[in-house]
Structure 1
Amino acid sequence: MDREKVMKLDELKSHLKRGGVYRRADLAQWSKSVDGHIKILVKSGVLQKLSQGLYYYPKKTVFGQTPPNEKILMKQFLKDDRFLVISPNLYNTLGIGTTQLYNKKLVYNHKRQGDFIIGKRTFSFCIKSHFPKKVTREFLYVDLLNNLENLAEDKEQILEKIYSKIQSLSVKKLRQATQLYGSVRTKKLLGKLLSSQSNVSNTISS
């Protein structure tokens, strides 16, 4: 590679920040030969290809290179900052008997639908009209019921334990989460229980 090409490549590299995730369009603003430069940078290990048109400039620690920050990764992949990443493994924290571990994460968003492998990790993108900015315990119950048919555990046992567990939750918060984020089936499953709990609470307080 002649000196001029090296200088142009070095100029491109000077704009990269450790831990950054870049789309091809981002890199193109700093290079007139972006495809050739990307090819060289990937081959030399400076950049890692995460998916088509998406690249990572690895951050280094004493333990080696770290994977890209999940929020930065999703923001660049979606070209949007409205999303929620959730692992089905979080259902295991509810204490309702779920123990299965899942390798993929769910990404609720407004743009993409389907499973994508990004940086050797599988993400299942689901277009939804509404989802919270962060995961709450009430949302987890609703989300679990929304995805009940996709879980490996015994559905009836899960339902029985959910009904016993959610009695300790705030009826108001659970009702709000159900109305905002629940599927039609989830609203039916929780509707009667929430109504009965509300009636019990009213009787006790009166």
Structure 2
Amino acid sequence: MVPFLYSDGMTKLQELKKRLRPGQVYRREELAQWSNAVDRHLKQLLSDGTLTKLAGGLYAYPKQTVFGKAPAEDDKLVESFLKDDRFLLASPNAYNGLGVGTTQLYDKTIVYNHKRHGRFSLGGRTFDFRVKPSFPKKLTREFLLVDLVNNLDQLAENKEEVLGRVKERAASYDPSRLQRAAHDYGSVRTKKFFANALRANTEPHVA
């Protein structure tokens, strides 16, 4: 069968390839708007290595580097999966920079979002999606400290020791910002913990 040609000699598949951008992630329905036979074209693009399948209906056009094909960036992958740019990527590894005694490394990426809950494998990586009513647009020290206390039961370290260090570290934070973060993002238990910690840090010490 002779492939359909545009007036400039370009096939529909070639036209679809022209639309693709290195490093981007696409859903099947996005590709369908540029194709008259999306499933056939997807099969061809996967076969020739142009696209990589990440999950059902989700595909990446990898960037070529001197080391080979680069995996899709987490934020682009998650945005396409959710069909939403309102999310926050986090990891328990970030707690290690807070100076509260956590040292463990975790192979886990948490996605706070408004739409999906559960563990999903995307592009060979596992993401832990958690629906949360509110979260900041980017990670802050205050949010991480509150998030650590929220997730204390999931950490490998001695919990009482970590809480003691969190209480000490809280004294070095701006109290209004930390109080706001605890109010906006903390669980009931976390709110209570920081209310007590901040109160203890501001009360005058009797000699």
TM-score, normalised via structure 2 length: 0.91
> 2 CA distance for matches of 1:144 and 1:99?
13
Give a deviation string over 1:23-67, Cα, whole Å, max 9, x none.
000000111211121122112211001111100001112222212
Matched letter for residue 191 of structure 2 = K
Cα displacement (A) at 1:199 = 3.4
- Contact kept in structure 2, 1:28 and 1:34, CA below 8 Å: yes
> 1 CA distance for matches of 2:108 and 2:51?
24
1:24 to 23, 28, 31: 28
Residue 120 (structure 1) aligned with residue 124 (structure 2): yes
Matched letter for residue 4 of structure 1 = F
- Contact kept in structure 1, 2:115 and 2:131, CA below 8 Å: yes
SS at match of 1:84: strand
Q: Which residue of 2 aligns with 1:75?
A: 79
2:89 to 85, 90, 104: 85
- Output aligned runs, 1:188-199, within 5 Å: 188-199=192-203
- Output aligned runs, 1:75-154, within 5 Å: 75-154=79-158
SS at match of 1:134: coil
* Unpaired segments ≥5 residues, structure 1: 202-206
Q: Percent identity?
A: 53
Matched letter for residue 3 of structure 1 = P
Give a deviation string over 1:172-198, Cα, whole Å, max 9, x none.
111010000000111112211112223
Q: Which residue of 2 aligns with 1:4?
A: 4
Matched letter for residue 37 of structure 1 = H
Residue 186 (structure 1) aligned with residue 190 (structure 2): yes
Q: Which residue of 2 aligns with 1:63?
A: 67
SS at match of 1:25: helix
SS at match of 2:194: helix
Cα displacement (A) at 1:149 = 0.8
> 1 CA distance for matches of 2:141 and 2:108?
20
RMSD: 1.9
Cα displacement (A) at 1:2 = 4.3
> 2 CA distance for matches of 1:13 and 1:127?
35
Give a deviation string over 1:113-141, Cα, whole Å, max 9, x none.
01111111111111111100111111111
Q: Which residue of 2 aligns with 1:162?
A: 166
- Contact kept in structure 2, 1:171 and 1:197, CA below 8 Å: no
Cα displacement (A) at 1:96 = 1.4
SS at match of 1:107: strand
TM-score, normalised via structure 1 length: 0.92
> 2 CA distance for matches of 1:3 and 1:35?
16
> 2 CA distance for matches of 1:12 and 1:130?
38
* Unpaired segments ≥5 residues, structure 2: none
> 2 CA distance for matches of 1:42 and 1:152?
41
- Contact kept in structure 2, 1:59 and 1:65, CA below 8 Å: yes
